[in-house]
């Protein structure tokens, strides 16, 4: 599962942060059949 999960400010978006790519991809695979999902990576400045 996600190491951290939360809602956006207005609650219209749920997001999860994962330590491993495989865990993120597994969650996306399960959720994408019922919800719009987008896998992203954090950016570093």
> What pLDDT does 45 receive?
79
Provide mean pLDDT across the span 3-14: 92
Q: Quickly count helices (H) and strands (E) in the chain.
A: 1, 2
What is the spatial distance between Cα 45 and Cα 28, in angstroms, rounded to a whole number? 26
In the block, which residue shows the tokens 């954090």? 42
Quickly state the pLDDT bin for 38 (edges 50, 70, 90).
very high
Q: Is the pLDDT of residue 42 over 90?
A: no
Task: Tell me how far the alpha carbon of residue 19 is from its chain's centroid.
Answer: 11
pTM: 0.79
29, 18 in Cβ contact below 8 A? no
Quickly state the pLDDT bin for 33 (edges 50, 70, 90).
very high
1, 23 in Cβ contact below 8 A? yes
> What pLDDT does 11 receive?
82
- Sketch the domain layout of the chain as residue ranges: 1-45
């Amino acid at each position: 599962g996600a190491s951290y999960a939360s809602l956006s400010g207005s609650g219209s978006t749920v997001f999860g942060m994962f330590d491993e790519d495989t865990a993120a991809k597994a969650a996306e695979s399960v959720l994408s059949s019922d919800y719009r999902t987008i896998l992203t990576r954090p950016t570093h400045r």
